[in-house]
Structure 1
Amino acid sequence: MLKTKYKMLTIVALAFLMLIGCYYLYKFKVASIDRLSIDRVQAPFTKVESVETVKSSYDLIVVGTDPEGIMAAVSGARNGLKVLLLEGRDRDILGGLMTLGGLNTLDLNYSPNQPWYYRYLHKSKFLNEGLFQEWFDQVEGSSVDTHTAANVFYQMIKQEQNIDLLMHVQKMEPILQQSGENMQLTGLAITKPDGATEKVEAKVVIDASQDADIAAASGVPYSIGRQDIGEGKAKMAATLVFRMDHVTNEAWRNFKGLEGLGLDSTSIWGFGDARKYPPSDPNKVKIRSLNIGRENNETILFNTMQIYGVDPLDPESVARGMEVGKKEAPLIVDYLKKTYPEFANMNYAGTASELYIRESRHIYGEYRLTLADVLENRDKWDAIAYGSYDVDIQSINYSDVGTIMLSPMQYGVPFRSLVPLKVDGLLVVGRSASFDTIPHGSARVIPLGMATAEAAGAAASLAISNDMTVRELSQSTKLISKLRKKLVKQGMDLTYEKFDQPAYMKHKDYKGLVTAASMYMTSGSYSNEAWDLDGTMSIGRYLNKLRTLKKAHPDQFPGFPDGAVKDMKDLLTGPLTLEQAGYMLALTAGLDTTRETALKDLVSRGWISEEIIGQMLNVEELTNGDTYMMFYDILKNGFGIVYE
């Protein structure tokens, strides 16, 4: 009887707890209806003060006060280093691209496994966490108020007694000395705001400038833009963020429920039809769908304008890009007000003070992140950060719509990608680290840069305490393991999650897919299903693929495929046969051959294997995957080039 009574009491207690739980879940759900309203007031910018006296030597110098530089400095200081943080641009606040460039909507790296209850708490689990999470917990959400962001960055710096901050540095030059086969960076010669020059020694320098300026000046090898896929002159679109005001809570709620629109309390994404905006000069500017970030003073920021032809390493070109953007911004606002009722009562409120540049230098480091790494969601033995953001390749001209290459689940960024070749005593963090141009479309995002910067600061401390260079550290499995443990202890999450690998990796033509995608021939889009490996390849499309192959590898493919189709203009949309594919490929490779003998010539040279041909299901109608495998074969067997 007593047992039955206790059993009944237990059941009642559990039922009561379930009711309480359901009530609070319901309360969270109901509360979310009005989570579109904010009642915050925008704080003024905290005045940023520079150190009065710069010491002659520091353990660590960090260059740049973009988010990556701030995290590197804070991490170094918390790991016991004396740090000098330098800003070489004419800036009065911290945060760079995010605050002065107005890029207030964050490209976040979500964990592939989200705790089920997070959605009721309106939270998300991010990869890495650590200092990024510490900062994120003090700002508004997926989009941040630029004043809040800048002030939190400054607060994090001011809390560290080991950091000296110097703004408005007029000039910085590396101090180098020969050390074996490499140069050793031993410090920087700086010209201070008052014009005085001073040499400052450092055991390690972290280059967190947007364009890896210190690394380039030190002699670190690098590629520019899409140079590594044969498009050295191509320049990814730049953006000038602009503002609209009079965005009340009621105005924000008016966006709720619109078709094709994403919305939370601080961000809006969508309005795909906005692409129909008629630009004043299509050769210079256009807009894409709208990315909108909300601030605390009834203003919103638009990351939507695309400005073409801006050379990020030419100050005059950047200035011209700013002028193009400033002239176009009010025209875009007028169009939005006339086209969408939701914007009708809002007004143009100016632009950001800096241009948003997405891509410039890519250094060559001890490891270069490849697209294959991202395609396969690879972990790395020395992973010090993880990414999962879409591989987003922005357009380079008006007729180019850009590409979402794929959406990874989780890939590791190795510490070696921060360690440049040729120069010791230096680490590079941010968008100019050692990433190939295609995976850079994901790895360039600010939160991932903040994570790599935190790792760089901790690594500098570990290298110094072990009396070794950061390059020597990068080669030690024992010390990298110690670095990873140190990062986890200070709040980072370096867990490689469990998840199913994407279906495309199981396809028989997967190696060809890696080859084609690495040369920017194909994409999987957000769904990772647009590769269309089993789709039919037309003669015309194959011709374009060969032109891309030739562009990526001009030395290996000096010939021209066009001669094979000069009398076939009416047939370019038709299916591609193996014979025709072999002939066009052989001509591109510079072989003197005929349509009838070309494939035999490629096979006899060992450039195309019988195995690849044997896997083709229909030689009279090749698939996309069939042709990509031919590219894989000829690059590997003919020239020793493998994308992996």
Structure 2
Amino acid sequence: MANRTKTLRIAIGLGLLLVIIAGGGLWWYSNYKSTAMPGKMKPLLQVSSVSQIKDAYDVIVTGTDPEGVAAAVSAARNGLSVLLVDGRNREILGGLMTLGWLNSLDNNYSPESSLVPGKHNFLNKGIFQEWYDRIEGTSFDVVTAANAFYELVRQEPNIDLLMKVKTMEPIVTVGQDGMRKVTGVQVIRQDGSRHNVKAKAVIDATQDADIAAAAGVAFTIGREDIGDPKSQMAVTLVFKLRGVTQEVWESFGRHKDTGIDRMSGWGFPEMWEYPSSNKDKVRMRGLNIGRQNDGTILINALQIFGINPLDPRSVEEAFEIGKKEIPLVVDYMKKNFKEFADLELAGTAPELYVRETRHMKGIYRLTMTDVLDNRDQWDRIAFGSYKVDIQSTNYQDRGAIMMNPVQYAIPFRSILPREVNGLLVVGRSASFDTLPHGSARVIPVGMATGQAAGAAAKLAVDKELSFRELSESKQDIAALQERLNKQGMELKPLRIQPPAYTKHKAYAGLKAAVSMNLTVGGDKNEGFDLDGASNAQRFVYQLNGVGRLHSAYFKGKAADSLQGMSNPAEAQLTLEQAAAALGSAMGLPQNPRTTMQELLDRGVVKQDTVSAIQDPKRLTNGEAYMLIRDVVANYAGKTYD
């Protein structure tokens, strides 16, 4: 009898497993592999603001982008009174995704597969997963998304939502220790009424960390931290096309080097060759296509250069450039691709898709070595795994995939300013170096940091701790992580297999080279090519990059070492040539040329590095990076670890 019961239980268990697998497979097919029609168009929910705001709240969250929604919902669910306030002229929640029309997600996938076949297994989960489960998939209808954000907010009685204020500024006091502290936000409403609203904590979830900047938090701008202060990634004006029948949608998937699923399309790489009418300001790239439920599609591909998103006049210029160019782009698409022949322009996004502006100088700044190492952090509050995607900065630059991590941690210290108390900064303007920001800037990471910030506020309020005190306590950070795990996030310590490149003898050099933007790995990290042969021209280009970043030390011209060389791009890099190029970059006298022995005697190159070179007549890329690492560490005093 017992055996029969056991057998029955096993059979039932297997049956349930098969049902789950079958259901998962059906769900996966209907949502991803299927190219069936999208869902029905839903009415847009009208967002209501609170009529009266209180004099004080436990937490004020500024900005209604996805990160702000996550922060407000998290704080409210943890029992705090919350004011969620927005200073832009918005009618709906969701910001970049619903008004910038960035309707395709750059997701953070776990290295561990989902138990449900075909279903995505995201990192972090939590409030992001709740929102994601309400939309169509990795691309979504912006009305669905806006409604999902609003539903998350309005179901929380602890949140007062206030939209479309004229201005919002931090209220800042200075303590006896000289430290500034944000104690609330001054709000001026549309009717001109002024409100000084106090708070025990403020979470800045604006795209550009406007509240933090006004409070005196330090930032770098754009690519300043890699020696390119006048550059930042292009902004994009997303545009809409109408007339997309099911037949048209399926035709996209038959185009060469292009693919589709039910809601997403990608490809048409020929658009890189679109003849821009203004090459100083605008170009097209391959298409990212997000389907809408009303038979339209959104195209994320128009790159606009030289725009300062912090300057309203420059933003207006970007709209003017985009709206002038987009009709030309659509005409080109209609004439050159049969798939677009019958489609018509249906509008442009109300807001720009801005990829970067400010990068906060927080207690901890996420680095490229963190991402390369797939490094865990003791105070982890989120994980990232999206590729390090650096978009174009000018017409000649096609951007780059710096590398593709497995999984890395975002520390609590990266949302905490160095010199201002009472404030946390979440989203793309948090404390990330420019290059790792290419991965950490994505919305799912930002929503995870927002959820963590809301929970951290609860812990700080209950324990009467400053955020700085919280960040210094391993016991309290552990309590924060436990709280977040119980509330749907997954913040267990990392356990992943280190990538092969981390075991290479030149890995220390690679870390320096990638951190200084001297090499890129691509989607599969194969571009590092540590054992491939370097050449004289490439080494000089790399030293030019070092010179831009460490200009106080490398005042010479590395190219002087190429004099008399007919074809440096074909000349294998020798140890002798490398020494001459390093000496030229350092500004050392070159008559006679600098020798490696001289660099060894000066202590700027290690003997171990030279001894590890297998063939002095043919240096590899990895060996070249090791030489650069030594000189930057021992001459300029900067080590990338």
TM-score (ref. length: structure 1)? 0.95
- Distance in 2 between residues matched to 1:141 and 1:595, nearest whole Å: 64
SS of the residue corresponding to residue 438 of structure 1 reads helix
Q: Distance in 1 between matches of 2:146 and 2:449?
A: 20
Report the CA distance between 1:235 and its aligned residue.
2.2
Q: What secondary structure sits across from 2:114 in the alignment? A: coil
2:197 maps to what in 1? 200
**Equivalent of 2:585, from 574, 584, 588?**
588
1:154 to 126, 150, 157: 150
Match of 1:235 in 2: 232
Q: Does 1:643 align with 2:631?
A: no
**Partner deviation per Cα, 1:587-622 (whole Å, 9 max, x = no partner):** 212323545443222111211011100111111122
Distance in 2 (CA, whole Å) between partners of 1:85 and 1:357 is: 22
Select which of 404, 409, 427 maps to 1:407: 404
In 2, Cα distance between equivalents of 1:394 and 1:545: 20
How many residues end up aligned between the 2 structures? 640
Specify every segment of 5 or more residues in structure 1 that has no aligned partner in the other structure, as ranges: none
For 2:98 and 2:111, locate their aligned partners in 1 and report how far apart those are by CA, in whole Å. 29
What residue identity is the alignment partner of 1:156?
L
| Per-residue Cα deviation, 1:430-451 (whole angstroms, up to 9, x for no partner) | 0000000000000000111001
User: Are the aligned partners of 2:253 and 2:265 in contact in 1 as well (CA < 8 Å)?
Assistant: no
- Which ranges in structure 2 are unaligned for 5 or more consecutive residues? none
SS at match of 2:170: strand
1:501 to partner: Cα distance: 1.4
Asked if residue 131 in structure 1 is aligned to residue 130 in structure 2, the reply is no
Change (3 A) 1:574 1:353: same
> C-alpha displacement at 1:533, in angstroms?
1.4
CA distance in 1, matches of 2:32, 2:562: 61
Give 1:506-525 correspondences, 5 Å limit: 506-525=503-522
Deviation digits for residues 28-51 of structure 1, max 9, x if unmatched?
787679832235222232111111
SS of structure 1 residue aligned to 2:236: coil
Instruction: Give the distance between the partners of 1:554 and 1:471, measured in 2 at CA.
Output: 34
Aligned ranges 1:139-178 → 2 under 5 Å? 139-178=135-174
Preserved contact between residue 113 and residue 497 of structure 1 (Cα < 8 Å): no
Structure 1 residues 604 and 212: alpha-carbon distance in aligned structure 2, compared to 1, 3 A threshold: same
Q: Quick one: distance in 2 between partners of 1:24 and 1:42? A: 25
d(CA) in 2 for partners of 1:3, 1:414: 52
Give the structure 2 partner of residue 93 of structure 1.
92
Q: Does 1:439 align with 2:436?
A: yes
Question: Which residue in the other structure is 2:39 paired with?
Answer: 40
Q: Does 1:472 align with 2:465?
A: no
The residue number in structure 1 matching 2:82 is 83
Q: Percent identity?
A: 49
Secondary structure, counterpart of 1:601 in structure 2: helix
Decide whether the 8 Å contact of 2:376 with 2:494 is kept in 1: no
> Whole-Å Cα distance in 2 between the matches of residues 117 and 548 of structure 1?
47
What per-residue deviation string (whole Å, max 9, x for no partner) do you get for residues 203-253 of structure 1?
A: 111111111111111111110011000000012111000011111223222
Could you tell me how far apart the structure 1 residues matched to 2:41 and 2:86 are?
Answer: 25
TM-score in terms of structure 2 length: 0.95
Distance in 1 between residues matched to 2:20 and 2:71, nearest whole Å: 42
Distance 1:22-1:69 versus aligned 2 partners, 3 A rule: closer
More moved, 321-330 vs 355-364 = 321-330
CA distance in 2, matches of 1:354, 1:15: 51
Q: Determine which of 287, 292, 295 is the counterpart of 1:295.
A: 292
The residue type paired with residue 197 of structure 2 is V
1:22 to 1:433, Cα distance in 2 relative to 1, 3 A: closer
Q: Supply the AA of the counterpart residue of 1:244.
A: L
Give the Cα–Cα distance (whole angstroms) in 2 for the partners of residues 175 and 495 of structure 1: 37
Look up the SS of the partner of 1:483 in the other structure: helix
Query: Hey, what does 2:108 align to over in structure 1?
Result: 109
One-letter identity of the residue aligned with 1:408: P
User: How far did residue 540 of structure 1 move?
Assistant: 1.4
Amino acid at match of 1:137: D
Q: How does 1:352-501 map to 2 (within 5 A)?
A: 352-496=349-493, 498-501=495-498
Match of 2:620 in 1: 623
CA distance in 2 between partners of 1:449 and 1:9 (Å): 47
Structure 2 distance, partners of 1:147, 1:158, is 16
CA distance in structure 2 between the partners assigned to 1:288 and 1:61 by the alignment: 39
Checking the alignment, whether the CA contact within 8 Å between 2:25 and 2:117 is kept in structure 1 is no
CA contact (8 A) 1:185 1:425 kept: yes
Change (3 A) 1:597 1:560: closer
Counterpart amino acid of residue 249 in structure 1: Q
Farther-moved stretch of structure 1 (43-52 vs 478-487): 43-52
User: What residue in structure 1 maps to residue 595 of structure 2?
Assistant: 598
Aligned positions of 1:255-266 closer than 5 A: 255-266=252-263
Deviation, structure 1 residue 259: 3.6
Question: Which residue identity is paired with 2:148?
Answer: V
2:235 aligns to what SS in structure 1? coil
8 Å CA contact 2:427, 2:450 repeated in 1: yes
Give the structure 2 partner of residue 64 of structure 1: 63
- Secondary structure in structure 2 of the residue aligned to 1:530: helix
Q: Is the 8 A contact 1:177 1:184 kept in 2?
A: yes
CA distance in 1, matches of 2:338, 2:594: 64
Structure 2 letter corresponding to 1:582: A
Deviation at 1:635, TM superposition (A): 1.8
Q: Give the superposed CA RMSD.
A: 2.4
Measure how far apart 1:8 and its partner are.
11
Q: CA separation of 1:247/1:504 partners in 2, compared to 1, >3 Å: closer, same or farther?
A: same
Matches within 5 A, 1:534-549: 534-549=531-546
Aligned CA distance change for structure 1 residues 115 and 17 (closer, same or farther; 3 Å): closer
Cα displacement (A) at 1:198: 1.8
Give me the whole-angstrom Cα distance separating, in 2, the residues matched to 1:182 and 1:553. Answer: 31
Quick check: 1:513–1:625 contact (8 Å CA) kept in 2? yes
